[in-house]
Amino acid sequence: MRIIAGEAGSLRLSVPPSITRPTTDRVREAMFSSLGERLIKAEVLDLFAGSGSLGIESLSRGANSALFVDKSSAADKAIEANLRSSRLEGGRFVRRDVLSYLSTIPEEHFDLIFADPPYARDEDTATLLAALLEHEELAKALKPDGLLVLESFAKAPLPDSPLWNVAKEKVYGKTRVSYLTSNS
């Protein structure tokens, strides 16, 4: 896995062993291509960060900051190594469960929020996805013109939530990428 474009383009990323399903280069390239100028000077939140590829790609393409949230110490180490080798500034890591973090999120607002939770292939992961989309603090953390970019399993329906509008969706193999706007 590598950074696709920008200041750190082509940099190979460290991936935490056996705890992540990293977003493929193809899907990331399509996502970031569609985001275009939204990345310039953006404040980014990368939930279920894993290797940090989404936040680091954002920094590489001109985002001001990226906050990485993941509960894994392996993710913490991988993101720290990736930020160090990329020499990009503006990245910081919070080691916490995502839903727990959202319950106590400070008064920060983000232009872009990336969420790549475990794919909803069973009851537990489907419940996690639904809980994420029902979390009012997540919707409040998004700036009025911001986007939540959510990855999920293409064959599992996206749970309905009164907090979000689907602006657009794209499917890449087994991955659905949904671009959501907040109703709050």
pLDDT for residue 8: 63
Q: Are 54 and 114 in contact (CB under 8 A)?
A: yes
Quick one: what percent of the chain has pLDDT higher than 70? 86
Residues 42-70: tens digit of each pLDDT: 999 999 998 899 999 999 999 999 999 99
DSSP classification of residue 132 = H
- With cut-offs at 50, 70 and 90, classify the pLDDT of residue 85: confident
Please state which of the ranges 2-11, 87-96, 132-141 shows the lowest mean pLDDT. 2-11
pLDDT for residue 80: 93
Q: Is residue 44 included in any domain, yes or no?
A: yes
Q: Is residue 6 included in any domain, yes or no?
A: no
Q: Is residue 9 included in any domain, yes or no?
A: no
Q: Is residue 5 included in any domain, yes or no?
A: no
Residues 16-27: tens digit of each pLDDT: 776 555 667 788
HSE-up (13 A, CA, CB side) for residue 120: 21
pLDDT for residue 133: 94
Alpha helices, DSSP H only, in 87-122? 98-103
Domain region containing 52:
25-182
* CATH number of the domain enclosing 159: 3.40.50.150
HSE-up (13 A, CA, CB side) for residue 126: 10
Q: Is residue 149 included in any domain, yes or no?
A: yes
**In this structure, is the dihedral angle defined by the CA atoms of residues 43, 9, 98 and 67, taken in order, positive or negative?**
negative
State the total domains in the chain.
1
pLDDT for residue 31: 92
Report the alpha-carbon distance of residue 5 to residue 66 in Å, rounded: 16
DSSP classification of residue 64 = S
- pTM for this entry: 0.89
Q: Are 181 and 167 in contact (CB under 8 A)?
A: yes
- Flag whether pLDDT at 119 surpasses 70: no
| β-pairing verdict for 65-70 and 91-95 | parallel
Q: Is residue 14 included in any domain, yes or no?
A: no
Q: Specify the higher pLDDT residue, 54 or 5.
A: 54
Q: Is residue 31 included in any domain, yes or no?
A: yes
Q: Give the rounded distance of the alpha carbon of 68 from its chain centre.
A: 8
Residues 142-155: tens digit of each pLDDT: 999 999 999 988 88
